[in-house]
Amino acid sequence: MKLTIFAATGGIGRQVFEQAVAAGHDVTAVARNPQSLAGRARVVAADLTAADPAVLASAVQGSDAVLSGLGPRRPRTEAGITSRGTRAIVAAMRATGVRRLVVVSAAPIGTVPSPARPTPPRHDPGDGFFMRHLGSRFAGAMFRAHYADLALTEDIVRESGLDWTISRPPRLTDRPLTGVYRVARGRNIRGGVTVSRANVAHHMLAVLDQPEAVHQVFGIAD
């Protein structure tokens, strides 16, 4: 499969890249500084906060699917990066006729207001007592601007007209790939506090072979 991976040197993006290359996919890696990936795949240098549309179009042209691990390295100070970058990715896909898109969001986003969802549910149906009453409030206070940007990002994806899938992991870890994790459609995982970046990447690649995953949001946790 021919894949374009955005933010391919980031935490999740690098895991998607490594697993995609190992599986024998034809990979184009897009990142601000992708030189470390050169020689293993086609690389495209692009800053998604101010990307050249022609560069992004060339990066996705002819791909079977686009996977984005885009997110701020410092969520509390770099809010806005994910929505701006995702908007640019969607525009490039529309311009080139590429339809399949898989992106990463975060577990709390189902309860975060956005322009398209100004009154979301108060609780995610998969959240247990702690997350409903304490965890979500603490996380919201810590990462309010970042979560608002991810909620906007989900709006952009949902309204794109593309064949999208959204992954909503909880706290990310650097534990190794196991391929063993829990997934729930349309809700978070009860008691799911953490998940490894490697397992998130594994699931992002897995849904490419699952037509039923199109236009779905998935909670995932170890």
Instruction: Give the pairing of strands 216-221 and 163-168.
Output: parallel
Beta pairing partners, 5: 29, 67
Q: Which residues contact 205 (CB under 8 A, 6 or more apart)?
A: 16, 19, 20, 23, 67
* pLDDT top residue among 72 and 170: 170
Residue 169's nearest CA partner among 69, 19, 20 is: 69
The whole model's pTM is what?
Answer: 0.92
Model confidence at 129: pLDDT above 80: no
Q: Which of 11-15, 51-55, 124-128, 204-208 has the lowest mean pLDDT?
A: 124-128
Site of tokens 């995610």 = 124
- Summarize the confidence of residues 30-49 as an average pLDDT: 94
Please tell me the distance from the alpha carbon of residue 169 to that of residue 53, in angstroms, as a whole number: 29
Q: For residue range 67-100, list pLDDT tens digits in order.
A: 999 987 665 556 789 999 999 999 999 999 999 9
3-state secondary structure of 184: strand
Q: What is the pLDDT of residue 74?
A: 63
2-221 topology per CATH:
Rossmann fold (3.40.50)
Query: Could you tell me the residue ranges of all domains in the chain?
Result: 2-221
Check if the beta carbon of residue 150 is closer than 8 Å to that of residue 112.
yes
Q: What is the pLDDT of residue 50?
A: 86
Which residue intervals of the chain are DSSP H helices?
11-22, 53-60, 81-96, 129-130, 136-142, 144-158, 197-206
Q: What is the pLDDT of residue 123?
A: 80
Backbone angles phi, psi at 84, to 5 degrees: -65, -45
